[in-house]
A and B are shown apart, each in its own frame.
Chain A
Amino acid sequence: MIETKHLSKQFVGRMAVDDVSFSLKRGEIVGFLGPNGAGKTTTMRMITGYLPASQGSVQVAGYDIFKDSLKARREIGYMPESVPLYEDMRVKEYLTFRAKLKGLRGSGVSENVNRVIELCTLGEVRGKLIGVLSKGFRQRVGLADALVHKPALLILDEPTNGLDPNQTRQVRGIIGSLGSEHTILLSTHLLSEVEMMCSRVIIIDRGKVKADNTPENLIQEFRASGALRLEIKADAEKAQKQIAAVPGVRRVMREELPDGWSLFQLKLDPGADVREPLAALVAKNQWPMRELSLRGVTLEEVFVELTQRQG
């Protein structure tokens, strides 16, 4: 559905997107993750044809977005990050205008407008001016606009940005219900959202793709190079040296707890399980111990690990 090859965008003095290649198959819901300024919006703008790429190509539904722009754009429903809408238009009027603009004709216009009004539960505000709507409604009008011409591909730039928890759930519910008919690329920095809705995650940082996998696989990969938590009462500095010397331990972080105990957070080599040698070490030194546990990894930690800025 989407095929990007070596996509790059250079702004004055910096690479916003640097050699990004990925593809989406029909029916997939893919989360596009990255810290602010990572290049998510720029990539999406290139896919939708709003910005031309400095290098590389984008194909949407088999059409090149640059050479066959109109045909490719007909396949896309795009909701930009700020959800720009004409404030002086009424909801139904706006959707009708957009439906016509996107090539719907005759009875197809009102049919589809009514369909998306119902789908996005906009019934109660259909006659209201967009300018007076709350953020949640505006977001749903933007979504309805993206959906009105039944595009094969939906590109949603932070669809739940700035919504309260209830509105977020509503919007997620709508997106979730679309899954089977549309291919969806959605950007967000809410990781729970990705875990809930997406079958695949692409993590991007400073313009480069850092990971492209299912959420489960990503977590798995990182659990393999797991983390361990140990709380003991001991001469912290000496203990840290001894723990670090255990084979399989890659890094030890020490934290003095206020009640006199010390907390050690251990990063382990992939596949290593050091619980037994560690327990033996604690027993040998007769340190009082109150916790020794392997920690589960969340997608959030994967994200932080992949996108943390050095220095």
Chain B
Amino acid sequence: MRTLFILLGKELRSFFFSPVAYVVLALFMVISGFSFSQAITLMGEKPTETSIVQWTFYPRWFFFYFFFLFPLITMRLFAEEQKTGTLESLLTAPVRAVHVLLAKFFSAFIFYVILWIPNLVYLGILHWVSDGRVLIPLGSLGGAFLIILLIGLFHIAVGCLASALTRNQIVAAIICFTLILLHFLLGMFLLLMAKDVPVEYMGIVNYFATTQHISYFTIGLIDSRAIVYYVSFTVLLLTITHQVLEYRRWKA
């Protein structure tokens, strides 16, 4: 356990000492700030069914940055260490490969969570300046944050796997991007097909569609199937990543 924390500390440190982190943070704040101000403007114009939480956490341009965010966060994790050879000194120290994997995974996850904190600050400020007259539904806020975290777990695990597969960061980013896109399209495709699909198969459709999950959770509808889906896939992906790390040693 101690080893895990030592490794986690080191990983977080190298996150915040790399310029990529600040570029991502800055871009993310620009985009989320823009969507927040858009939301305020729209809500000021006419009454709307959509709550401020939905606008903030699930704006229409959500997927434009969604696809790029995770590759940028995760591409470095294993690819860099494999390229510079530091993985060798890391794995010959008395350290379990699982600890290395979890430290990298959680460092990326913590960074991802930090990205979202400004959004909470915006809502807080809105609440404060409007003297509490703007309705911020706490249930949907909790749901929104929960789904954001779950999506983060899943996609960062995808990124870990992509990064473990190669020693080239660009290749890692492309693999991660492709996998996320495929998963997204699978969900979208099934949603679009929904009209032609018999009712009894709709469950499967709902199971895959990230967009569907987000729209449920942001109105406060917390669906345990989605929780199980993301958590179990995260565990599966991390297990595969662990196997990849071990396999590289057996093969090479």
**A residues bordering B, Cβ < 8 Å?**
11, 45, 48-52, 70-71, 73-74, 76, 78, 80, 82, 84-89, 97-98, 100-103, 145
Task: Say yes or no: A97 contacts B6, CB within 8 Å.
Answer: yes
16 A-B residue pairs with Cβ-Cβ distance under 8 Å, sorted by A, are A45-B88, A52-B249, A70-B96, A71-B94, A78-B92, A80-B89, A84-B85, A84-B86, A84-B87, A89-B14, A97-B10, A98-B93, A100-B6, A101-B6, A102-B94, A145-B89
Residue B84 interfacial (CB < 8 Å): yes
Residue B91 interfacial (CB < 8 Å): yes
Among B6, B84, B93, find the residue whose CB has the most chain A CB atoms closer than 10 A: B93
Residue ID in chain A nearest B249 by CB atoms:
A51
How distant is the Cα of A253 from the Cα of B41 in the complex, in angstroms? 95
- Chain A residue contacts of B96, Cβ below 8 A: 70
Task: Say yes or no: B93 contacts A87, CB within 8 Å.
Answer: no
Task: Say yes or no: B85 contacts A82, CB within 8 Å.
Answer: yes
How distant is the Cα of A45 from the Cα of B10 in the complex, in angstroms? 25
Shortest distance in angstroms between A76's beta carbon and chain B's nearest beta carbon? 7
Task: Say yes or no: B94 contacts A74, CB within 8 Å.
Answer: yes
How distant is the Cα of A98 from the Cα of B249 in the complex, in angstroms? 22
Residue B61 interfacial (CB < 8 Å): no
How distant is the Cα of A49 from the Cα of B90 in the complex, in angstroms? 11
Task: Say yes or no: B86 contacts A85, CB within 8 Å.
Answer: yes
Given the known inter-chain contacts A86-B14, A88-B17, A100-B6, please indicate yes or no for A50 contacting B85, CB distance below 8 A.
no
Residue ID in chain B nearest A44 by CB atoms:
B92
- Chain A residue contacts of B14, Cβ below 8 A: 86, 88-89
Shortest distance in angstroms between A162's beta carbon and chain B's nearest beta carbon? 15
Residue B7 interfacial (CB < 8 Å): yes
How distant is the Cα of A48 from the Cα of B3 in the complex, in angstroms? 19
Q: Count of A-B contacts with CB under 8 A?
A: 57
Residue B95 interfacial (CB < 8 Å): yes
Task: Say yes or no: B88 contacts A88, CB within 8 Å.
Answer: no
Residue ID in chain A nearest B7 by CB atoms:
A101
How distant is the Cα of A210 from the Cα of B102 in the complex, in angstroms? 44
Considering only residues 1-32 of chain B, those with a C-beta below 8 Å from chain A are 3, 6-7, 10, 14, 17-18
Task: Say yes or no: A50 contacts B7, CB within 8 Å.
Answer: no
Residue ID in chain A nearest B10 by CB atoms:
A97
9 more A-B residue pairs beyond the given contacts A49-B92, A50-B91, A84-B86, with a C-beta to C-beta distance below 8 A: A49-B91, A51-B252, A80-B89, A84-B85, A84-B87, A84-B89, A101-B95, A102-B93, A103-B94
How distant is the Cα of A101 from the Cα of B103 in the complex, in angstroms? 13
Residue B250 interfacial (CB < 8 Å): yes
- Chain A residue contacts of B92, Cβ below 8 A: 48-50, 73, 76, 78, 80
